Copies of this chain bind each other. A is one copy, B any other.
Amino acid sequence: MNNFTYRNPTKILFGKGQIENLATEIPANSKVLMLYGGGSIKKNGIYEQVKTALADFTVLEFGGIPANPEYSVLLDALKIIKEEKIDYLLAVGGGSVIDGTKFLSAAALHEGETPWNILTDKKPITKGLPFATVLTLPATGSEMNSGSVITRAETQEKLAFGGPGMFPVFSILDPEVIKSIPQRQLANGIADAFTHVMEQYMTYPIGALLQDRFAESIMQTLVEVAPAIMKDPTDYQAASNFMWSCTMALNGLIQQGVPGDWAVHMMGHELTAMYGIDHARTLAILAGNHYRYNFETKKEKLAQYAERVWNVTEGSLEDKANAGIEKTDEFFKSLGIDIKLSDYTKDYEGTGSNVAKRFTERGWEGLGEHKSLKPSDAQKIIEMSY
């Protein structure tokens, strides 16, 4: 096990009816900016619940944060925060709204030339305007971590930032929101959370036995509840386990003391940028082939995963490892997710070399847990995924 430093101060209020507690969690007399996305919260009742809970507060609103939180849109919100002297931000939404709110939290207190520097400086953000979240779409874990990804259409950039000042003060997780989420987004959420775990787990073995078992626990739980969630999102037991699993998948706990891979995400971001494919679906397209391509360095963990998550008991280590990859592909397909690039676009020829070129032009340092994968390796993995 590697050395690690871990701290996660976010308070979680989990369960039915927790939105009511907003008024006691946000300091009295706060001037609140409520941030949300495309307006689904006005259809599923969450908007009303939040407004009712905050009846005694001054609440301004900023809706329309898009699925990949866009810098220019966020600058409009920043203007309101400064002009109206907002002192508390409340994200009501999924990962994009929360990530956008993290950016605004940092930008409100940013002293540099332009808030874009938050994304380019590569410095951990240690302070921000206090913010909280009401999670409406389980998937990204952003409700209990300190990371964020922001998109800037103007320059075709998608950059990450974060730091100890970027944890939500509190997050409300009410699994009852899940019943109003469309099937497509439920499938994406399951696949996204599952892949988050894989990125932190499917590396070379490092003897972090408990972290391995926790990672396997999250994957087992997602596998167990996925059919119930997809069949009946009003199933509260399935919904609550799905929601808590998504949070635990990327709140920092399982990554302590272990290497991370994240190559699937790095390649997947490019497919989203090029073809607009849903983030989670790009992961499903690439994951299996990433493991096939890097079989030798990952086969011990792949076999352990096959045994423990999928109950594969027969065959050699290599047989089990291969079975683990097949099971992963099948799992994504069971969610109704296509796992070939050609299922999403007819113009897939040349995607591998185009992504490799984009990586090369950015002066790429290498992908994967050893940072050893070159752009040419990414090209081959993507070509395997046509």
Instruction: List residues of chain A with CB under 8 Å of any chain B CB.
Output: 1-18, 170, 207-210, 213-214, 216-218, 220-221, 224-225, 237, 240-241, 244-245, 248, 253, 256-257
Contacts and interface: CB of A to CB of B under 8 A. Distances in A.
Contacts of A248: 210
Contact of A241 (B1, B2, B245): B1
Most B C-beta atoms less than 10 A away, residue of A213, A237, A240, A248: A213
Given A210-B245, A237-B207, A14 B10 contact: no
Contacts of A244: 1, 210, 257
Contacts of A4: 12, 14-15
A18 B3 contact: yes
Contacts of A15: 1-4, 257
B1 A12 contact: no
A118 B1 CA distance: 39
Contacts of A220: 213
Given A3-B14, A6-B14, 8 more contacts: A1-B244, A5-B11, A6-B12, A7-B10, A207-B240, A210-B221, A210-B245, A210-B248
Given A207-B237, A214-B214, A244-B210, A6 B11 contact: yes
Contact of A209 (B3, B7, B208, B224): B224
B221 A213 contact: yes
A186 B8 CA distance: 29
Contacts of A14: 3-6, 256-257
Contacts of A18: 3
Contacts of A3: 14-18
A16 B220 CA distance: 32
A214 B11 CA distance: 20
Given A207-B241, A210-B245, A12 B7 contact: yes
A240 B16 contact: no
Most B C-beta atoms less than 10 A away, residue of A5, A216, A224: A5
Contacts of A210: 217-218, 221, 241, 244-245, 248
Contacts of A214: 214, 217
A240 B1 contact: yes
A12 B5 contact: yes
Given A214-B214, A217-B213, A257-B14, A208 B241 contact: yes
21 contacts: A1-B240, A1-B241, A1-B244, A3-B17, A3-B18, A5-B11, A6-B11, A6-B14, A7-B11, A12-B256, A207-B240, A209-B221, A209-B224, A209-B225, A209-B241, A210-B218, A213-B217, A213-B218, A213-B221, A214-B217, A217-B217
